[in-house]
């Protein structure tokens, strides 16, 4: 029964992560459009304002009310997560504007590898030498993606790289609080603290937007809310090192959007590098299942 539950949780976590990457890719395309025509700080502030309003309404309508929504066992970490996510979003949107979706996501691909690598020392999750080897191969795939293109070696390449590190830290903190807080509690704190952090700088850069951009802004708010809710739930049901490799799907989804909508080019080295990274991610999932089988069957350890 325990093994069946673990397998079901892993599968649920994987599908939640794949859904998350699709929503995030759509969100990134909208962010690139809005960030090219408007203040990035204003766009992110409005997004988090909507986020905060939604989680407040959800908390008010819940049977337990606000008391349950704010009842966290990890107050310090919850206060950090929202602002950290808001900062990551600002940095990544800047990368979309300066490099485009494909180049930015090529650099950002290292975020899941950072999460998988740090899930052991930070979260205490077991990462064996085989998975470490797969993570190393994944980083080689990232190098394949970066090597041929001059644009990714420009100073702007540091922008999505910084975003990748920030997002990895946010992911690890999300997994950490999931051990004591429900997904709804984490969702509430993310929206509220992110909105508070973005308000001063967002108001300072406020300016009028066109009517079409207000429509795109509304769609961005919806995708952001849905995407992060899926993201939090994926970590709530499965280990970070198990589900995180599937975050590589975001590169494929974002690249398809970039080609169809923004006319970007998908080069051969990006395809090759992405294939290496995805293969490394799939290997880590296989190793995760092998380890779970050993834990559930003591005779398999002999």
| Residue 5 pLDDT > 70 | no
Q: Which of 162-171, 256-265, 289-298 has the lowest mean pLDDT?
A: 289-298
CA angle 181, 176, 287 (to 5 degrees): 125
Cα–Cα distance, 119 to 272 (Å, whole number) = 27
Is the whole-model pTM more than 0.85?
A: no
Give the chain's mean pLDDT.
83
In DSSP notation, 54-115 reads: HHHHHHHHSTT-HHHHT--S-HHHHHHHHHHHHHHHHHHHHHHHHH-HHHHHHHHTHHHHHH
| Residue 230 pLDDT > 80 | yes
Nearest to 191 by CA among 112, 83, 272: 83
pLDDT by residue (tens digit) across 76-106? 999 999 999 999 999 999 999 998 898 888 8
Q: What percent of the chain has pLDDT over 70?
A: 86
Nearest to 209 by CA among 200, 201, 217: 217
Q: What is the mean pLDDT of residues 275-297?
A: 70
8 A C-beta contact, residue 92 and residue 163: yes
pLDDT by residue (tens digit) across 103-139? 888 878 777 677 777 777 777 777 777 777 888 888 7
| Residue 33 pLDDT > 60 | yes
């Amino acid at each position: 029964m325990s093994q069946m539950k673990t397998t079901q949780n892993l599968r649920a976590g994987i599908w939640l992560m794949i859904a998350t990457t699709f929503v995030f890719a759509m969100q990134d395309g909208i962010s690139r459009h809005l960030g090219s025509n408007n203040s990035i700080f204003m766009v992110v502030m409005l997004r988090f304002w909507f986020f905060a309003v939604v989680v407040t309404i959800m908390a008010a309508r819940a049977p337990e009310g606000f008391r349950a929504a704010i009842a966290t066992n990890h107050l310090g970490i919850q206060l950090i997560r929202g602002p950290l996510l808001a900062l990551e979003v600002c940095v990544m949107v800047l990368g979309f504007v300066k490099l485009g979706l494909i180049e930015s996501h090529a650099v950002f691909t290292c975020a899941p590898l950072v999460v998988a690598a740090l899930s052991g020392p930070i979260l205490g999750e077991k990462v064996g030498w085989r998975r470490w080897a797969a993570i190393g191969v994944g980083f080689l795939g990232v190098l394949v993606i970066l090597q041929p293109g001059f644009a990714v070696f420009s100073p702007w390449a540091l922008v999505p790289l910084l975003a990748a590190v920030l997002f990895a830290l946010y992911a690890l903190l999300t997994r950490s609080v999931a051990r004591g807080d429900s997904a709804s509690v984490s969702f509430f704190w993310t929206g509220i603290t992110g909105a508070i952090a973005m308000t001063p700088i967002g108001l300072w850069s406020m300016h009028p937007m066109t009517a079409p951009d207000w429509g795109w802004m509304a769609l961005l708010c919806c995708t952001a809310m849905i995407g992060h809710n899926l993201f939090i739930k994926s970590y709530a049901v499965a280990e970070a090192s198990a589900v995180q490799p599937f975050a590589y799907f975001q590169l494929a989804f974002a690249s398809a959007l970039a080609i169809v909508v923004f006319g970007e080019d998908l080069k051969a080295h990006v395809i090759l590098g992405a294939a290496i990274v995805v293969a490394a991610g799939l290997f880590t999932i296989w190793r995760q299942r092998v380890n779970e089988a050993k834990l559930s069957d003591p005779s398999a350890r002999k």
